[in-house]
């Protein structure tokens, strides 16, 4: 089946146009075209529809390739522009290339036309993806600025995040052609470099991408001290793998941080985040997420689930076993105006909360699926108390149980309540 392509031909010769179209059809293309030979006709054609490619003769009685190229640049169109002429000399062709033309093909050598078109269409796609990535990063940075304006008390933390986003953007622009380095840079921005140091809570994080050679995936987690008493956390999973998933992951994490400081109510935060992701995510992409707040004075836990596996809670010795906490909700980024429900429970001293992505709960051994119940039993039987050691032992048990390389990324965050913050004398809980 021939590949469809929309071509605007700038040429005053109908015979030459027929030759070009015959060459394209012989090369496997099914062209839809328009031929113009005046500035007015080219303006009208560009207004009529978008074009995949422009082929231009060098000189015509009432028009020229140079004028056509200038018109395209005035409109700021990123359309491959190929000079196809039989009379232009090398010096003029070089001048056109410097002005923005993508290639020069002699009319006597049309066998080069199809490979040149294939190459330029491919490079146009790369440029389009680059612009989308840069736009996503600009949106993330704008969210940071809005939060900074409303909450001056968090200025130092927001400045650090904004600088991190700028560094990531600079790295993306300077090393875009070296995809491996771009991927590594993105991965560093998906998880905190270090967990916050708070006396009441102890953390144990872990992240393992499915493809170790890529060193990037769609899983992320974050922990943010919201104020003197409340600790916010999130863990999520973006559909897909590799660079596109990492870009969406960075966008989702940064949006969550921006919305968090504006309004930390969990159900409102998740609803706003869902509507934002619906606008910016493409195709069949979606995000699962679990986010919540821990009150370090009381141990009260409030959380919201959006299509994500439920958290596991292991009570301290003598206070019960291990359970999967309730909660469900629609994934993010698919349907607008969804509603989410906040769940509540209370953590006691010594209790351990485990957050995880579906790479852990849906681990496979041949055709056997691990499932949440088995992971709950692993956590219940784990001899360790320190969160970091719990995460390490669960990961080692997963590797031993699976036997094969992981098919999906795995993120684990264990949160243990060590103590409750003392209230000042005479103070009351809100």
- What is the tens place of the pLDDT at every residue in 226-263? 988 899 999 999 887 767 777 888 889 999 999 999 99
Contacts of 48 (CB under 8 A, 6+ apart): 34
| pLDDT confidence of residue 305 | 97
Whether residues 65 and 198 fall in one domain? no
Report d(CA 209, CA 309) in Å as an integer.
18
Report d(CA 65, CA 19) in Å as an integer.
19
Report d(CA 106, CA 115) in Å as an integer.
14
Whether 165 is covered by a domain: the verdict is no
Whether residues 102 and 199 fall in one domain? no
| SS3 assignment, position 401 | helix
| pLDDT confidence of residue 153 | 62
Q: What is the CA radius of gyration of the chain?
A: 28
Q: Domain ends where: 108, 142, 170?
A: 108
Closest CA to 294 of 356, 344, 361: 344
Q: Domain ends where: 46, 76, 108?
A: 108
Q: Number of folded domains in the chain?
A: 2
pLDDT in tens, the chain (430 residues): 578 999 999 999 999 999 999 999 998 999 999 999 999 999 999 999 999 999 999 989 999 999 999 999 999 999 999 999 887 788 888 888 898 899 998 888 888 898 989 998 899 889 889 988 888 888 888 887 775 667 666 567 667 767 776 777 777 666 555 665 666 566 666 677 788 888 889 999 998 877 655 556 678 999 999 988 899 999 999 887 767 777 888 889 999 999 999 999 999 999 999 999 999 887 788 999 999 999 999 999 999 999 999 999 999 865 668 999 999 999 999 999 999 999 999 999 999 999 999 989 888 888 888 888 999 999 999 998 999 999 999 999 998 998 767 778 889 999 999 888 654 434 443 4
- What is the tens place of the pLDDT at every residue in 16-68? 999 999 999 998 999 999 999 999 999 999 999 999 999 999 989 999 999 99
Whether residues 98 and 211 fall in one domain? no
From the CB of residue 116, how many other CB atoms can be counted at a distance below 10 Å? 17
Whether residues 356 and 247 fall in one domain? yes
Whether 317 is covered by a domain: the verdict is yes
Report d(CA 249, CA 114) in Å as an integer.
38
Whether 156 is covered by a domain: the verdict is no
Q: Domain ends where: 54, 83, 108?
A: 108
Whether 96 is covered by a domain: the verdict is yes
Whether 337 is covered by a domain: the verdict is yes
Beta strands 53-56 and 81-85: pairing type?
parallel
Whether 426 is covered by a domain: the verdict is no
Whether residues 255 and 358 fall in one domain? yes
The reported pTM is 0.56
| pLDDT confidence of residue 365 | 85
| pLDDT confidence of residue 425 | 39
Whether 178 is covered by a domain: the verdict is no
Closest CA to 430 of 287, 298, 233, 280: 298
* Bridge partners for 201 per DSSP: 198, 417
| pLDDT confidence of residue 61 | 92
| Contact by Cβ (8 Å): 364, 402 | yes
User: Average model confidence (pLDDT) for the chain?
Assistant: 86
Whether residues 102 and 198 fall in one domain? no
Q: Which domain holds residue 20?
A: 3-108
- CATH number, domain of 326, equals 3.60.40.10
Report d(CA 320, CA 418) in Å as an integer.
17
- CATH number, domain of 39, equals 3.40.50.2300
| pLDDT confidence of residue 167 | 78
Contacts of 324 (CB under 8 A, 6+ apart): 310, 311, 312, 372, 373, 376
Whether 359 is covered by a domain: the verdict is yes
Whether residues 89 and 234 fall in one domain? no
| pLDDT confidence of residue 133 | 87
Whether residues 97 and 238 fall in one domain? no
């Amino acid at each position: 089946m021939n590949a469809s392509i929309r071509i605007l031909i700038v040429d005053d010769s109908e015979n030459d146009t027929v030759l070009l179209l015959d060459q394209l059809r012989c090369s496997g293309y099914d062209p839809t075209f328009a031929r113009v030979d005046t500035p007015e006709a080219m303006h009208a054609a560009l207004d009529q529809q978008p074009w995949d490619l422009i082929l231009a003769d060098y000189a015509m009685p009432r028009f020229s390739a140079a004028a056509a190229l200038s018109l395209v640049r005035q409109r700021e169109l990123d359309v491959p522009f190929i000079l196809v002429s039989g009379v232009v000399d090398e010096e003029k062709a070089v001048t056109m290339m410097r002005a923005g033309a993508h290639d020069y093909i002699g009319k006597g050598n049309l066998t080069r036309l199809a490979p040149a078109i294939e190459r330029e269409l491919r490079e146009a796609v790369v440029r389009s993806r680059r612009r989308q990535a840069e736009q996503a990063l600009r949106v993330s940075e704008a969210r940071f600025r809005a939060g900074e304006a409303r909450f001056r008390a968090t200025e130092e933390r927001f400045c650090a995040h904004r600088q991190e986003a700028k560094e990531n953007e600079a790295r993306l622009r300077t090393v875009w052609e070296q995809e491996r380095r771009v991927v590594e840079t993105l991965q560093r921005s998906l998880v905190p470099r270090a967990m916050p140091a708070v006396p009441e809570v102890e953390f144990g994080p872990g992240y393992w991408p499915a493809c170790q050679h890529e060193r990037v995936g769609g899983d992320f987690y974050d922990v943010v001290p919201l104020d003197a008493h409340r600790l916010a956390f999130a863990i999520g999973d973006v559909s897909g793998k590799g660079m596109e998933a990492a870009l969406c992951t960075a966008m989702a994490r940064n949006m969550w941080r921006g919305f968090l400081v504006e309004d930390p109510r969990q159900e409102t935060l998740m609803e706003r985040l869902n509507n934002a992701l619906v606008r910016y995510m493409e195709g069949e992409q979606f995000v699962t997420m679990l986010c919540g707040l821990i009150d370090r004075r009381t141990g009260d836990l409030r959380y919201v689930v959006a299509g994500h596996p439920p958290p596991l809670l292991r009570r301290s010795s003598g206070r019960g076993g291990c359970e999967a906490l309730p909660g469900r909700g629609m994934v993010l980024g698919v349907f607008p105006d969804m509603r989410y429900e906040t769940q509540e429970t209370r953590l006691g001293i010594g209790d351990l909360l485990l957050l995880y992505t579906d790479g852990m709960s849906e681990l496979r051994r041949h055709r056997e699926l691990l499932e949440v119940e088995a992971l709950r039993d692993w956590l219940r039987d784990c001899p360790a108390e320190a969160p970091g050691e719990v995460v390490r032992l669960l990961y080692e048990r997963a590797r031993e149980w699976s036997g094969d390389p992981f098919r999906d990324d795995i993120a684990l965050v264990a949160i243990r309540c060590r103590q409750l913050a003392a209230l000042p004398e005479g103070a009351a809980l809100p």
